[in-house]
Amino acid sequence: MTPTTERVESQNQFNAAANVATDQIRRVLVAWIGRKVWKISGNGGAVAKLAAELKDLSDAAGWNQQGAPFVCVLCRHGSLHAFFRGTFAGCQLSSDLYLGRVDDDGILTRLYEIERLRTDYTVAEVKNATERAH
């Protein structure tokens, strides 16, 4: 399959939006390092105060609304991350944004180093990488 300009541009747009989302969520989480962020018993989920902060962020950023990116913060096996999904230039894309570590008591022990998604892919570069992979 030959990459198209539209598909590469959609990936670059998606990655740029995911980078912004990572920055915004991390700004909220930095104040939570060393504090309980995740309920371990029952159905789990973010503690009420953090859940409210994340909802406020989501509302301000326009996420989780019709036609806007969907963002959901999750904790799996001690890793706190956000699932990010959206349609950019007609392509629906998704990615996990890795945020930090949560210990067995639900305490955020650290934030991961930021891993920036590239926003400057070119059609030629993607084509060459695809050809090398086959």
Total number of domains in the chain: 1
Indicate the pLDDT class of residue 129, thresholds 50, 70 and 90: confident
State the pLDDT at residue 90.
Answer: 86
pLDDT, tens digit, 9 for 90 and up, residues 72-117: 999 988 999 999 999 998 899 999 999 999 999 999 999 999 889 9
pLDDT band at 1 (very low <50, low <70, confident <90, very high): low
- pTM (2 decimals)? 0.90
Collapse the DSSP code of 106 into the 3-class scheme (helix H, G, I; strand E, B; otherwise coil) and give the result. Answer: coil
Predicted confidence at residue 15, as pLDDT, reads: 97
* Separation of first and last alpha carbons in the chain: 11
Q: Which domain holds residue 13?
A: 5-133
**23 vs 8, 72, 85, 99, 123, CA distance in Å?**
23, 15, 16, 10, 27
Which whole-number Å values give the CA distances from 103 to 19, 53, 58, 83, 109, in the listed order?
25, 21, 25, 20, 7
Helix (H, G, I), strand (E, B) or coil at 121: coil
Q: pLDDT tens for residues 5-47? A: 999 999 999 999 999 999 999 999 999 999 999 998 877 899 9
What are the two backbone dihedrals, phi and then psi, of residue 45, each rounded to the nearest 5 degrees? 100, 165
Q: What share of the chain is helix, strand, coil (3-state, %, to 5)?
A: 40, 30, 35
The amino acid sitting at 44 is G
Q: Are 112 and 98 in contact (CB under 8 A)?
A: yes
Q: Residue 118's pLDDT is what?
A: 95
> What is the pLDDT averaged over residues 60-65?
96
Q: What pLDDT score does 115 carry?
A: 86
**What pLDDT, on the 0 to 100 scale, is given for residue 121?**
95
